[in-house]
Structure 1
Amino acid sequence: MKKALDIRRKQLWYRSTHTGVKDTEIILSQFAKQYLESLEESDLDQYEHLLNIEHNLLYKLITNKKIPDEEIDNSVLQILRILHQKS
């Protein structure tokens, strides 16, 4: 089980740092560096769900330029928003 989580974290790390949208990559890579190793599986699910969103839309959600739907307004998105505000 631990090996599967390690592989998943590596995949999420890669996706965080290769979005094709530089501003999004900066925020996501900062999040991944600080939090990815300590996230529980349910949080990894939330993060992966966010990474599946089109990246320009995700950037708008993180920067509060768009209000998120209930299904994607989760604790990981809140952390991403805080990281953006601090940068």
Structure 2
Amino acid sequence: MSGTTRTSADLDVRRKQILYRSWHRGMREMDLIMGRFADSEIGNLSDEDLAEFERLIEVTDRDLLGWITGEIETPTNYNTPLFRRLKAFHTHTSPIHN
């Protein structure tokens, strides 16, 4: 079970791949953070936002989780508007937020 609550039937191939990768990261906490954000936002992301989200998917789970929770300072080149949306989404909606 992937955890996704969103159907991918109406998505183009790129968005389907991003949605899948968001829910299959390796660390369950990051599956929930990235997957829930993708479920909510994937249909509305611009091409630029999609590229940035794909870049975030490539970051290791431990680093990305640390940036999102504030345990590790976010590098300047990753502290983008999309990353801040992801972080705010997690802070306001996640049951795993500290």
Distance (whole Å) between structure 2 residues aligned to residue 6 and residue 71 of structure 1: 28
Shift of 1:62: 1.2
Higher helix share: 1
The aligned residue for residue 13 of structure 2 is 7
Q: Distance in 1 between matches of 2:37 and 2:72?
A: 20
Deviates more, 1:13-22 or 1:61-70: 61-70
Q: Tell me the distance in 1 between the aligned counterparts of 2:87 and 2:69.
A: 6
Identity across the alignment (%): 30
TM-score (norm 1): 0.88
Provide Cα deviations, 1:11-56, integer angstroms capped at 9, x if missing partner: 1001100011011111111100110111000000110111111111
- 1:53 and 1:22 map into 2 onto residues whose CA distance is 15
**Residue in structure 2 matching 1:22, options 19, 24, 28:** 28
Residues in 2 aligned to 1:53 and 1:80: alpha-carbon distance in whole angstroms? 14
1:67 lines up with 2:81 in the alignment? no
RCO higher in structure (CA 8 A, sep ≥6): 1
Instruction: Give the unaligned 5+ runs of structure 2.
Output: 1-10
Across the aligned residues of Structure 1 and Structure 2, the Cα RMSD in angstroms comes to 1.2
Q: Distance in 2 between matches of 1:77 and 1:66?
A: 14
